[in-house]
Amino acid sequence: MSILEIIQFPHPLLKTKTLPVEGVNAAVERLVRDMIETMYHAPGSGLAANQVGVGKQIMVADVSKAEEEPNTIVIVNPQIVSVSEETIIANEGCLSVPDFNAELSRPAQVTVVGKNLAGEEVEIEADGWLARVIQHEIDHLNGILYIDRLGRLKRQGYIRKRKKALASGEKK
Ligand code: ZN
């Protein structure tokens, strides 16, 4: 297993829609193991394959608390099939969008279908933080960052700050 580099805004792969995985093979399994290790190392509660430079529809998540047992979720080719009308506002951040957080409204519950690592169809009904993480990661797989869902002023404010930081030679 190895820890992969997480690409950061404005890397073009973050804006690129990923492609479905045709079959869960050894290479996919290895990538997923590395993504899980990278997510725990960051640490983050979710990671999409294009954040580690792979344009495939794969996401991992773990929303368990520090005192709980780890509960890793892997979804290959995840698709949201329904969302609740009820929405919820929460503070969101992203490993690919350094030094920024913002409040964002999203549906409170989602149902997602996809495949697990055994290649079996799975359906997950999620609420709470997991619902948010799943939406955030599937957005990634569709080339959408959470800052794309913010108002224009907030988004432009971040982009300006980020460009300044990059120009001054900061890595983060
Ligand atoms: Zn993210």
Question: How close is the Cα of 137 to the center of ligand 1, in Å?
Answer: 6
Q: How far is CA 152 from CA 17, 147, 149, 156, 159, in A?
A: 22, 9, 9, 6, 10
Distance 145 CA to ligand 1 centre (A): 7
| Strand (E) or helix (H) holding 29 | helix 26-41
pLDDT higher than 70, residue 172: no
Average pLDDT of span 163-168? 94
Neighbouring residues of the ion ligand 1, judged by CB less than 5 Å: 94
| pLDDT surpasses 90 at 45 | yes
Q: How many whole angstroms from 48 Cα to the centroid of ligand 1?
A: 7
Is residue 137 flagged as an active site residue? yes
Q: Domain locations in the chain?
A: 12-167
Q: Which of 37, 86, 137, 170 does the annotation list as catalytic? A: 137
How many Å lie between the centroid of ligand 1 and the Cα of residue 5?
14
Task: Give the number of other CB atoms < 10 A from CB of residue 99.
Answer: 11
12-167: which CATH topology? Peptide Deformylase (3.90.45)
Arithmetic mean of pLDDT over the chain: 96
